[in-house]
């Protein structure tokens, strides 16, 4: 099931003359002090750069009209105006940018969010042009990338399973044009191409996360990932339950054996020409296609959202498709463990001792801490195959949401790589905050009978997010720089659409992973 997509292009014509269904301009919420309208009341709106010809067509009355319609310029607010032939487009959508920035243009994340909001608000329009303020300096590529990503992601809508047409549900915008000074500029065109590739990966991640869990159990998820990866020209290796048993993947089997749908481990490989002897990147993503908690069963309330517990796997697999198109000069291998955590007569139990792929033995206290079990095996395999950087992402702990909320991921691991994750996250609008791995929490995970407890002794939830990172560290070899990105909150948005996030899967952290891979390819 593929959700409808939006096409993207650049234009350098006068925005007032564009033959589109709607044109989007920006407005700030404040005007310099002392400025007032002819009527004598303070005008609190200031049109942003890019709207000059539109303002001229309205004979300077546009901000006054917007104010009378109740527009405040607040970030993300959309006010629609019928142009009645004043400009070529029949509809003008004015999106609030917040207070006027001190620099030449709003921050990229602001542009990303307002572009997404505006395109979603114009659902039903066939063609929309965005004339938003873009800087003309070194910040221009980042701003253009942000607008393009926001436009393509804000209009996303999951195809869904409805059997009857929904007449009140207007289709997403089919085509978006972005107004720039020079539409033929090679750098600008490259940004548009990249945005199309990366957002396609984000949208696919959202599709997989939003899919019903009965349609995306481990074998079928593995088949979909394999089909997409092979179509992109990537190498694929799939280990079924028999191969996992022969290979000694005790963590994946312990979790997956409780389900009638057996587990899988999918390896996806990208090796560009000339990469031999160079740096190697490993990606690992948690693929629990549904998480009941197993024998340590979860409360029923909200359990349906556990279809999203494979968000890390979806992001990693989709990132590889973007890598195949962008072709960075670095080898990248992804490891995607897939299992369904179900209670049954063959499910693993609290008290079990599980032998992991690297030989370490884990004493299980809580079968609902299943993600670290499948990830430990996959991370150990990645290190065995050889890598210099290991980036793992997972909806691992509720502790991440408690500590950092629904928008900011937690990142743990090697200090330098965690800082690179933070920088990439800030640049892409997917913030991540580095967290420690304290020795005292590791001491609380000492087992009397095995090498490590799966969770802290006594089921102590203090430092819950950090326990997950400390456990995963056991499966990374000393020579590998690694980062664990806990996306329990940011990977799924249960509220109403906001900015370029729509309800359901968000696609976090695809854009961060792509940025990190490109950074490693360029800088080592």
Distance (Å) of CA 355 to CA 248, 293, 325: 8, 20, 38
CB 48 within 8 A of CB 26: yes
* Residues written for the chain: 524
Provide the greatest CA pair distance for the chain.
Answer: 82
Segment (H or E) for 281: strand 280-285
Tokens 């980062």 found at = 483
On the CB side of 72, CA atoms within 13 Å amount to 5
Q: What is the C-alpha separation between 334 and 58, in angstroms, rounded?
A: 54
Please confirm whether the linkage preceding 509 is cis (ω < 30° from 0): yes
**Residues 72/65, Cβ–Cβ less than 8 Å:** no
Question: What count of other Cβ atoms lies within 10 Å of the Cβ of residue 260?
Answer: 9
Dihedral of CA atoms 455, 317, 340, 467 in degrees, nearest 10, equals 10
Angle at 481 between CA 444 and CA 521, to 5 degrees: 155
Nearest in space to 307 (alpha carbons), one of 154, 146, 159, 505: 505
Helices and strands, number each (H, E), in the chain: 15, 21
- Which is the catalytic residue, given 80, 279, 298, 407? 298
| Helix H or strand E encompassing 282 | strand 280-285
Query: 198 Cβ partners below 8 Å, 6+ apart?
Result: 149, 322, 326, 510, 511, 514
Token digits of residue 146:
């942000």
CA atoms within 13 A of residue 446's CA, in its CB half-sphere: 5
Residues 151 and 143: their CA atoms lie apart, in Å, by 12
Catalytic residue, from 31, 286, 307, 372: name it.
372
**The tokens 């022969």 sit on which residue?**
246
Strand bridging mode 78-82 / 175-179: unpaired
For residue 60, give both structure tokens.
């300077």
Structure letter (DSSP) for residue 232: T
298 is annotated as an active-site residue: yes
Segment (H or E) for 264: strand 264-270
Could you write out the DSSP letters of every residue in 442-460? HHTT--SSSSEESS-GGG-
Q: Give the integer Cα–Cα distance in Å for 44 and 39.
A: 13
CA 139 from centre of chain: 23
Question: Could you tell me the sign of the dihedral formed by the alpha carbons of 271, 274, 275, 277, in that order?
Answer: positive
Is the distance from CB of 513 to CB of 336 less than 8 angstroms?
no
Active-site residue list = 298, 372
């Amino acid at each position: 099931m593929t959700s409808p997509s939006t096409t993207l292009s650049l234009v350098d014509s006068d925005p007032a003359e564009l033959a589109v269904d709607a044109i989007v301009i920006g407005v700030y919420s404040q005007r310099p002090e002392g400025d007032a309208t002819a009527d004598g009341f303070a005008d609190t709106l200031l049109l942003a750069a890019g709207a000059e010809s539109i303002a001229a067509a309205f004979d300077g009355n546009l901000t006054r009209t917007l104010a009378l319609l109740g527009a405040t310029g607040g970030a993300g607010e959309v006010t629609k105006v019928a142009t009645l032939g004043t400009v070529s487009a029949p509809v003008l959508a004015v999106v609030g940018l917040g207070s006027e920035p001190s620099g030449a243009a709003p921050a990229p994340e602001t542009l990303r969010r307002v572009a997404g909001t505006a395109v979603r608000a114009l659902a039903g329009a066939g063609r929309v042009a965005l004339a938003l303020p873009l800087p003309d300096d070194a910040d221009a590529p980042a701003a253009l990338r942000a607008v393009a990503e926001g436009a393509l992601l804000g209009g996303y809508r999951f195809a869904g399973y409805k059997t009857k047409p929904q007449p009140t549900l207007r289709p997403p915008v089919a085509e978006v044009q972005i107004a720039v000074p020079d539409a033929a500029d090679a750098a600008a065109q490259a940004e548009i191409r990249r945005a199309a590739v990366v957002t396609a990966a984000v949208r696919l991640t959202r599709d997989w996360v939003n899919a019903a869990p009965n349609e995306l159990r481990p074998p079928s998820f593995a088949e979909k990932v394999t089909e997409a990866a092979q179509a992109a020209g990537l190498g694929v290796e799939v280990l079924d339950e028999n191969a996992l048993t022969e290979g000694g993947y005790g963590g994946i089997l312990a979790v997956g054996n409780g389900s009638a749908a057996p587990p899988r481990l999918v390896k996806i490989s990208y090796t560009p020409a000339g990469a031999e002897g160079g740096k190697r990147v490993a990606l690992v993503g948690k693929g629990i296609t549904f998480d009941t908690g197993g024998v340590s069963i979860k409360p029923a309330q909200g359990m349906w959202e556990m279809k999203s517990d494979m968000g890390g796997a979806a992001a990693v697999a989709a990132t590889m498709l973007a890598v195949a198109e962008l072709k960075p000069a670095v080898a990248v291998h992804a490891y995607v463990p897939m299992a369904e955590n179900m209670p049954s007569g063959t499910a693993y139990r609290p008290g079990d001792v599980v032998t992991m792929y690297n030989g370490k033995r884990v004493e299980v206290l809580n079968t609902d801490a299943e993600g670290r079990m499948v990830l430990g095996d996959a991370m150990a395999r990645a290190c065995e195959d050889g890598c210099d950087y290991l980036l793992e992402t997972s909806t691992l702990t509720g502790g991440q949401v408690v500590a950092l909320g629904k928008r900011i991921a937690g990142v743990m691991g090697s200090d330098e790589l965690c800082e690179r994750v933070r920088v990439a996250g800030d640049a892409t609008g997917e913030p991540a905050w580095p967290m420690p791995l304290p020795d005292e929490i590791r001491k609380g995970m000492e087992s009397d009978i095995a090498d490590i407890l799966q969770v802290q002794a006594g089921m102590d939830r203090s430092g819950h997010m950090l326990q997950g990172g400390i456990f995963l560290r056991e499966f990374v070899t000393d020579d590998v720089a690694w980062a664990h990105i806990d996306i329990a909150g940011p990977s799924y948005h249960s509220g109403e659409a906001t900015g370029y996030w729509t309800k359901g899967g968000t696609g976090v952290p695809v854009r961060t992973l792509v940025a990190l891979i490109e950074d490693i390819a360029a800088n080592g």
